[in-house]
Structure 1
Amino acid sequence: MAKNKFHDGPGPSQRQLRVGELIRRTLSEVLARGDVHDPDLNRMSITVGEVRTSPDLKIATAFVLPLGGKGQEDVLKLLARNKSELRRMVGKKLGLKFTPDLRFRLDETFDQMDDTRRMLSQDAVRRDVEE
Protein backbone atom coordinates (compact mmCIF):
# COMPACT_ATOMS: atom_id res chain seq x y z
CA MET A 1 0.00 0.00 0.00
CA ALA A 2 1.47 3.36 -1.04
CA LYS A 3 1.86 5.91 1.71
CA ASN A 4 0.04 9.20 1.15
CA LYS A 5 2.61 12.01 1.16
CA PHE A 6 0.08 14.37 2.80
CA HIS A 7 -0.60 12.04 5.73
CA ASP A 8 1.43 12.70 8.87
CA GLY A 9 1.44 9.09 10.02
CA PRO A 10 -0.58 7.26 12.63
CA GLY A 11 -0.88 10.23 14.99
CA PRO A 12 0.74 10.95 18.32
CA SER A 13 1.75 8.10 20.60
CA GLN A 14 0.41 7.73 24.15
CA ARG A 15 3.79 8.96 25.40
CA GLN A 16 3.63 12.09 23.23
CA LEU A 17 0.11 12.83 24.47
CA ARG A 18 1.07 12.25 28.12
CA VAL A 19 4.21 14.42 27.97
CA GLY A 20 2.36 17.12 26.03
CA GLU A 21 -0.38 17.28 28.66
CA LEU A 22 2.17 17.40 31.50
CA ILE A 23 3.97 20.28 29.80
CA ARG A 24 0.66 22.07 29.18
CA ARG A 25 -0.32 21.83 32.84
CA THR A 26 3.11 22.96 34.01
CA LEU A 27 3.22 25.95 31.64
CA SER A 28 -0.32 26.92 32.69
CA GLU A 29 0.63 26.80 36.39
CA VAL A 30 3.87 28.73 35.91
CA LEU A 31 2.16 31.44 33.85
CA ALA A 32 -0.84 31.68 36.20
CA ARG A 33 1.36 32.04 39.28
CA GLY A 34 3.65 34.58 37.62
CA ASP A 35 6.80 32.59 38.38
CA VAL A 36 8.71 34.02 35.41
CA HIS A 37 11.05 36.94 36.15
CA ASP A 38 9.44 39.16 33.52
CA PRO A 39 6.86 41.66 34.75
CA ASP A 40 5.50 42.20 31.22
CA LEU A 41 4.71 38.49 30.88
CA ASN A 42 3.35 38.23 34.43
CA ARG A 43 0.82 41.01 33.72
CA MET A 44 -0.84 38.91 31.01
CA SER A 45 -3.36 36.11 31.48
CA ILE A 46 -2.45 33.38 29.01
CA THR A 47 -4.35 30.22 28.18
CA VAL A 48 -2.30 27.20 27.13
CA GLY A 49 -4.80 25.23 25.09
CA GLU A 50 -2.63 22.35 23.94
CA VAL A 51 0.98 21.20 23.73
CA ARG A 52 2.06 18.90 20.91
CA THR A 53 5.39 17.12 21.04
CA SER A 54 7.50 15.78 18.20
CA PRO A 55 7.80 11.97 18.01
CA ASP A 56 11.29 12.11 19.60
CA LEU A 57 10.01 14.50 22.32
CA LYS A 58 12.73 17.05 21.52
CA ILE A 59 10.30 19.80 20.47
CA ALA A 60 7.13 20.85 22.26
CA THR A 61 4.81 23.32 20.53
CA ALA A 62 2.50 25.15 22.93
CA PHE A 63 -0.67 26.65 21.49
CA VAL A 64 -1.43 29.77 23.52
CA LEU A 65 -3.92 32.61 23.56
CA PRO A 66 -4.06 35.73 25.73
CA LEU A 67 -7.24 36.18 27.73
CA GLY A 68 -9.73 38.07 25.58
CA GLY A 69 -7.60 37.48 22.46
CA LYS A 70 -5.96 40.93 22.63
CA GLY A 71 -2.17 41.31 22.35
CA GLN A 72 -1.55 38.04 20.54
CA GLU A 73 1.71 39.12 18.90
CA ASP A 74 2.96 40.57 22.21
CA VAL A 75 2.31 37.25 23.95
CA LEU A 76 4.32 35.33 21.37
CA LYS A 77 7.24 37.77 21.68
CA LEU A 78 7.18 37.66 25.49
CA LEU A 79 7.03 33.87 25.59
CA ALA A 80 9.88 33.61 23.07
CA ARG A 81 11.93 36.07 25.14
CA ASN A 82 11.41 33.91 28.26
CA LYS A 83 11.65 30.55 26.52
CA SER A 84 14.82 29.37 28.28
CA GLU A 85 13.46 30.19 31.76
CA LEU A 86 10.15 28.46 30.96
CA ARG A 87 12.01 25.43 29.61
CA ARG A 88 14.13 25.23 32.75
CA MET A 89 11.00 25.42 34.95
CA VAL A 90 9.25 22.69 32.95
CA GLY A 91 12.32 20.44 33.12
CA LYS A 92 12.73 20.95 36.86
CA LYS A 93 9.06 20.30 37.60
CA LEU A 94 8.65 17.26 35.33
CA GLY A 95 12.05 15.65 35.87
CA LEU A 96 12.30 14.52 32.26
CA LYS A 97 15.57 13.04 31.02
CA PHE A 98 15.52 15.60 28.22
CA THR A 99 13.44 18.76 28.34
CA PRO A 100 11.99 19.60 24.93
CA ASP A 101 12.71 22.86 23.15
CA LEU A 102 9.62 25.03 23.56
CA ARG A 103 7.90 26.69 20.62
CA PHE A 104 4.88 28.94 20.89
CA ARG A 105 2.06 29.36 18.38
CA LEU A 106 -1.30 31.10 18.57
CA ASP A 107 -4.17 28.78 19.42
CA GLU A 108 -6.73 29.32 16.68
CA THR A 109 -9.21 26.69 17.86
CA PHE A 110 -11.19 29.31 19.82
CA ASP A 111 -11.69 31.34 16.62
CA GLN A 112 -12.76 28.18 14.81
CA MET A 113 -15.28 27.38 17.54
CA ASP A 114 -16.70 30.91 17.33
CA ASP A 115 -16.97 30.62 13.55
CA THR A 116 -18.73 27.26 13.90
CA ARG A 117 -21.18 28.67 16.47
CA ARG A 118 -21.93 31.65 14.20
CA MET A 119 -22.49 29.36 11.24
CA LEU A 120 -24.78 27.03 13.22
CA SER A 121 -26.84 29.98 14.47
CA GLN A 122 -27.70 31.14 10.94
CA ASP A 123 -31.38 30.59 10.11
CA ALA A 124 -30.71 28.63 6.91
CA VAL A 125 -28.28 26.27 8.62
CA ARG A 126 -30.51 25.82 11.67
CA ARG A 127 -33.45 24.93 9.37
CA ASP A 128 -31.33 22.32 7.58
CA VAL A 129 -30.12 20.80 10.83
CA GLU A 130 -33.60 20.62 12.35
CA GLU A 131 -35.09 18.83 9.33
Structure 2
Amino acid sequence: MSNRPERRGGADAGPSQRQLRVAEEIRHALSAVLIRGDVRDPELAEARVTVTEVRASPDLKHMTVFVSRLGKTADKPLLDALKRSQPWLRTQVAKAVRLRVAPELHFQPDTALDHAMHIDALMRRPEVARDLGVGTRAAGTSPEAEKDDDAS
Protein backbone atom coordinates (compact mmCIF):
# COMPACT_ATOMS: atom_id res chain seq x y z
CA MET A 1 0.00 0.00 0.00
CA SER A 2 1.34 3.40 -1.00
CA ASN A 3 1.26 6.64 1.01
CA ARG A 4 0.91 8.57 -2.22
CA PRO A 5 -2.44 10.34 -2.67
CA GLU A 6 -4.54 8.90 -5.46
CA ARG A 7 -4.97 11.13 -8.51
CA ARG A 8 -8.57 11.87 -9.26
CA GLY A 9 -10.24 12.46 -12.56
CA GLY A 10 -8.16 10.50 -15.05
CA ALA A 11 -7.14 11.80 -18.48
CA ASP A 12 -9.80 14.54 -18.66
CA ALA A 13 -8.94 16.04 -15.27
CA GLY A 14 -6.88 18.85 -16.80
CA PRO A 15 -3.29 19.86 -16.23
CA SER A 16 -1.61 19.33 -12.88
CA GLN A 17 -0.35 22.20 -10.76
CA ARG A 18 3.22 21.33 -11.79
CA GLN A 19 2.33 21.40 -15.49
CA LEU A 20 0.75 24.84 -15.08
CA ARG A 21 3.70 26.22 -13.12
CA VAL A 22 6.35 24.90 -15.53
CA ALA A 23 4.36 26.08 -18.57
CA GLU A 24 4.14 29.58 -17.09
CA GLU A 25 7.91 29.63 -16.44
CA ILE A 26 8.52 28.53 -20.04
CA ARG A 27 6.20 31.31 -21.27
CA HIS A 28 8.16 33.91 -19.30
CA ALA A 29 11.51 32.57 -20.52
CA LEU A 30 10.42 32.52 -24.18
CA SER A 31 8.92 36.00 -23.90
CA ALA A 32 12.17 37.33 -22.46
CA VAL A 33 14.21 35.79 -25.30
CA LEU A 34 11.88 37.20 -27.95
CA ILE A 35 11.77 40.65 -26.33
CA ARG A 36 15.57 40.86 -26.26
CA GLY A 37 15.49 40.33 -30.02
CA ASP A 38 18.84 38.55 -30.20
CA VAL A 39 17.43 35.85 -32.47
CA ARG A 40 19.30 35.05 -35.67
CA ASP A 41 16.30 34.67 -37.97
CA PRO A 42 15.47 38.01 -39.66
CA GLU A 43 11.74 37.19 -39.70
CA LEU A 44 11.77 36.81 -35.90
CA ALA A 45 14.09 39.76 -35.28
CA GLU A 46 11.63 42.15 -36.94
CA ALA A 47 8.43 40.58 -35.62
CA ARG A 48 6.72 41.60 -32.41
CA VAL A 49 5.81 38.16 -31.12
CA THR A 50 3.59 37.65 -28.09
CA VAL A 51 3.65 34.32 -26.29
CA THR A 52 0.07 34.16 -25.07
CA GLU A 53 0.01 30.68 -23.53
CA VAL A 54 2.11 27.56 -23.08
CA ARG A 55 0.61 24.13 -22.43
CA ALA A 56 2.77 21.36 -21.04
CA SER A 57 2.44 17.66 -21.74
CA PRO A 58 2.06 15.47 -18.63
CA ASP A 59 5.72 14.36 -18.86
CA LEU A 60 6.89 17.99 -19.42
CA LYS A 61 8.85 16.93 -22.52
CA HIS A 62 6.63 18.79 -24.99
CA MET A 63 5.33 22.34 -24.77
CA THR A 64 2.69 23.74 -27.09
CA VAL A 65 3.41 27.46 -27.43
CA PHE A 66 0.58 29.72 -28.58
CA VAL A 67 1.82 32.90 -30.25
CA SER A 68 0.36 35.99 -31.87
CA ARG A 69 1.87 38.93 -33.69
CA LEU A 70 1.06 42.19 -31.90
CA GLY A 71 -2.69 41.74 -31.61
CA LYS A 72 -3.04 39.59 -34.73
CA THR A 73 -2.98 35.87 -35.34
CA ALA A 74 0.47 34.53 -36.18
CA ASP A 75 0.84 33.95 -39.91
CA LYS A 76 2.60 31.11 -41.71
CA PRO A 77 5.95 32.93 -42.24
CA LEU A 78 6.17 33.69 -38.51
CA LEU A 79 5.34 30.09 -37.54
CA ASP A 80 7.92 28.82 -40.05
CA ALA A 81 10.55 31.15 -38.54
CA LEU A 82 9.72 29.93 -35.03
CA LYS A 83 10.01 26.30 -36.19
CA ARG A 84 13.40 27.04 -37.79
CA SER A 85 14.58 28.68 -34.55
CA GLN A 86 13.11 25.98 -32.31
CA PRO A 87 16.44 24.28 -31.44
CA TRP A 88 18.05 27.59 -30.45
CA LEU A 89 14.94 28.71 -28.53
CA ARG A 90 14.86 25.33 -26.79
CA THR A 91 18.47 25.86 -25.65
CA GLN A 92 17.64 29.34 -24.36
CA VAL A 93 14.65 28.00 -22.42
CA ALA A 94 16.78 25.17 -20.98
CA LYS A 95 19.27 27.74 -19.66
CA ALA A 96 16.52 29.82 -18.06
CA VAL A 97 14.32 27.05 -16.63
CA ARG A 98 15.97 24.18 -14.79
CA LEU A 99 14.31 20.95 -15.89
CA ARG A 100 15.58 17.40 -16.21
CA VAL A 101 14.88 17.44 -19.95
CA ALA A 102 14.76 20.49 -22.21
CA PRO A 103 11.22 20.42 -23.63
CA GLU A 104 10.47 20.35 -27.34
CA LEU A 105 8.61 23.47 -28.39
CA HIS A 106 5.64 23.20 -30.75
CA PHE A 107 4.35 26.55 -32.02
CA GLN A 108 0.68 27.19 -32.78
CA PRO A 109 -1.16 30.40 -33.70
CA ASP A 110 -3.32 31.82 -30.92
CA THR A 111 -6.78 32.25 -32.42
CA ALA A 112 -8.50 33.38 -29.22
CA LEU A 113 -8.49 37.05 -30.30
CA ASP A 114 -10.03 36.19 -33.67
CA HIS A 115 -12.65 34.05 -31.95
CA ALA A 116 -13.49 36.83 -29.46
CA MET A 117 -13.82 39.37 -32.28
CA HIS A 118 -16.12 37.00 -34.18
CA ILE A 119 -18.34 36.51 -31.10
CA ASP A 120 -18.39 40.29 -30.54
CA ALA A 121 -19.47 40.86 -34.15
CA LEU A 122 -22.24 38.28 -33.74
CA MET A 123 -23.44 39.90 -30.52
CA ARG A 124 -23.64 43.31 -32.25
CA ARG A 125 -25.90 42.05 -35.05
CA PRO A 126 -29.33 43.75 -34.94
CA GLU A 127 -31.31 40.51 -34.69
CA VAL A 128 -29.21 39.30 -31.72
CA ALA A 129 -29.49 42.69 -29.99
CA ARG A 130 -33.26 42.59 -30.54
CA ASP A 131 -33.50 39.06 -29.08
CA LEU A 132 -31.44 40.10 -26.08
CA GLY A 133 -33.36 43.35 -25.64
CA VAL A 134 -30.11 45.33 -25.65
CA GLY A 135 -30.94 47.97 -28.26
CA THR A 136 -34.18 49.14 -26.60
CA ARG A 137 -32.68 50.59 -23.41
CA ALA A 138 -30.58 53.69 -23.02
CA ALA A 139 -26.94 52.97 -22.20
CA GLY A 140 -26.31 52.54 -18.50
CA THR A 141 -29.94 52.12 -17.41
CA SER A 142 -31.37 49.01 -15.93
CA PRO A 143 -34.85 47.60 -16.63
CA GLU A 144 -35.85 48.55 -13.05
CA ALA A 145 -34.88 52.20 -13.68
CA GLU A 146 -37.00 52.25 -16.83
CA LYS A 147 -40.00 50.91 -14.86
CA ASP A 148 -39.54 53.66 -12.28
CA ASP A 149 -39.44 56.30 -15.04
CA ASP A 150 -42.61 54.90 -16.62
CA ALA A 151 -44.45 54.97 -13.28
CA SER A 152 -43.85 58.70 -12.65
Alignment TM-score, normalising by the size of structure 1:
0.86
Shift of 1:35: 2.4
Mapping of 1:50-129 within 5 angstroms?
50-69=53-72, 72-129=75-132
Question: Which residues of structure 1 form unaligned runs of 5+?
Answer: 1-6
Can you list the C-alpha shifts for 1:99-129, whole angstroms capped at 9, x where unaligned? 2110001111111111111111112222333
Distance 1:70 1:52, change over 3 A: closer
Determine the structure 2 residue equivalent to 1:4.
Answer: none
Distance 1:60 1:71, change over 3 A: closer
Aligned partners of 2:88 and 2:50: how far apart in 1?
18
Distance 1:42 1:116, change over 3 A: same
Determine the structure 2 residue equivalent to 1:34.
Answer: 37
Count the aligned residue pairs.
125
Question: Is the 8 Å Cα contact of residues 23 and 55 (structure 2) preserved in structure 1?
Answer: yes
Q: Identity of aligned pairs, percent?
A: 43
Question: Which residues of structure 2 form unaligned runs of 5+?
Answer: 1-9, 135-152
Determine the structure 2 residue equivalent to 1:3.
Answer: none
Aligned partners of 2:80 and 2:95: how far apart in 1?
23
Secondary structure of the equivalent of 1:51? strand
Q: Which has the larger radius of gyration?
A: 2
Shift of 1:71: 6.3
What code does the residue aligned with 2:54 have? V
Secondary structure of the equivalent of 2:12? coil
Alignment TM-score, normalising by the size of structure 2:
0.75
